[in-house]
Amino acid sequence: MSTRAIPFRRPVAFPLALLVGLLTLTVASNALACPFCSAVSQTLRQEMEMMDAVVIAESIPGQDRDPDTGVVKLKVTRVLKGEEHVQAGKPVEAVYYGNVTDGRKFMLSGVDPPDMQWSCLPISDRSEKYLAQVIVLPDDAVARLAFFRDYLEDEETMLARDAYDEFAIAPYQAVRQLEDQMDRQRLVEWIKEPEMPADRKRLYLTMLGVCGSEQDLPMLESMLRSEQKSTRSGLDALIACYLTLAGEDGLELVDELFLANKKSPYADTYAAIMAIRFHGTEGEAIPRSALLPSLHLVLDRTDLADLVIPDLARWGDWSQIDRLVQLFASADEDNNWVRVPVVNYLRACPLPEAEAALKKLEQIDPDSVRRANTFFAAPVQSSSPGPNSSSSLSRPPEAAVGLVGAGRPVGPLAANQPLAASQARRLAPLAKAPVAAATGVNPGRLLTVTGMAAASLMITAWLILSGGATAQD
């Protein structure tokens, strides 16, 4: 019996460095980003950081693109990164199927030296200057934002989008530190713009919450009361901005319009819950003790109560045991998804009353109690909210948050049940809504988890395919 190597054809080298960079980037991006923003794509800075080389190149007169392969020969005019791999003045080949006119400029991003594989992005002279500045920006989030701030509504779409994405992935604390460098009047003008996309409006409202003042409250209240859809776009950020500037006094209006108002549409109510959740975890304008009564109002709306029960548990509010027991007992087929969150709330509660209540619920519906115990690990008990603002209260570990609902609607999916008809009806208006409003999950974190999983799988596959295999005769 002998051992021999099985012939194995090594695949085309995959940019492993790129995958490792992606994995590192997704882990790093798990920091608390802009609370109401979703990055459209990877930023140019992120892309350049992950590349082995980044150059500016231009088309060579008389060099036509191969119509079959798309390969075009370009001349490197400027090296932004990777001087050890490529030099200015040298020709390189890249694949580009667009229009290649004489002298057209491109940003080329290369991986896998020495046989560099180039991706190709057409740019203007102004874009070249932008890229040259971006690649030398300091490793400081506030300093970077100060640079990108000037490009938020740039005339070049690519630059405006990239600047927005940089703000969307930036830590919220970094955005706050930019307060003295924000142009409040310009933010107000952008927010008032009827055609402003909702994602960008969310960012500008978040920024106005940082640099605005009480003089902005009449405008914000008017927007909250408006029935024009365009005026109230980005409602979660609009409510959060209003509360930041109004403080506790602003809760009365939010309660009236969205939380106590049973005619308020699901999407609007959920936007208000997102804003309350933001202030209870990242904001400092309103103490949690003042926010909790607003969440209690949602418990009166039996079809929506499951949205806030995880927040009560995470914030250590154990004042609602009797109310939740009654909610559990009175639940019917139209809102029975509320039962599992109630059970998890009681499992997390350290009070002896909770244990007695659980026994009562088990007699009413043993299946729901069993599902909660089966699909959710024992929740980590949270401390009771203190009298001070949320800044003095530690944010619970992500694992603990996940065990009590992860801040998202905890409904029939968590209970391993089909989607109830009423639940489907209330979710229908969100079919085209932003991810943040529809799911309650920070889209940056959702992207992080997805990116990490994809990168891990790709790296594993590459390692398997790149190696050899041995077998015995």
The pLDDT-based confidence of 451 (bands split at 50, 70, 90) is: low
The pLDDT-based confidence of 335 (bands split at 50, 70, 90) is: confident
Residue 316: what pLDDT?
Answer: 95
Percent of the residues in the chain that have a pLDDT greater than 90, as a whole number: 63
Torsion region of 320: left, alpha or beta (phi above 0 gives left; psi -120 to 50 gives alpha): alpha
C-alpha to C-alpha distance for 126 and 160, rounded to whole angstroms: 12
**Lookup: tokens for 422:** 């009423």
Distances (CA, A) of 442 to 39, 375, 446: 11, 22, 6
Q: Average model confidence (pLDDT) for the chain?
A: 80
Would you give the end-to-end CA distance of the chain in angstroms? 6
Residue corresponding to tokens 């077998």: 471
pLDDT average, residue stretch 302-318: 95
pLDDT average, residue stretch 91-120: 92
> What residue type is assigned to position 106 of the chain?
F
Select the more confidently predicted residue: 457 or 19: 457
C-alpha to C-alpha distance for 73 and 108, rounded to whole angstroms: 12
Q: Which residues contact 220 (CB under 8 A, 6 or more apart)?
A: 238, 241, 242, 245
For the ranges 65-69, 363-367, 410-414, 431-435, which has the lowest average pLDDT? 410-414
H helix runs in 135-234, sequence order: 141-148, 157-169, 172-177, 184-192, 198-211, 217-225
The pLDDT-based confidence of 25 (bands split at 50, 70, 90) is: very low
For the ranges 126-135, 222-231, 464-473, which has the lowest average pLDDT? 464-473
Element (H, E) at 2: none
Residue 70: what pLDDT?
Answer: 87
The pLDDT-based confidence of 67 (bands split at 50, 70, 90) is: confident
pLDDT average, residue stretch 244-256: 98
Q: If you write DSSP's letter for every residue of 91-133 in order, what string do you get?
A: EEEEE--S---TT-EEEEEEESSSS-EEEEEEE-HHHHHHHHH
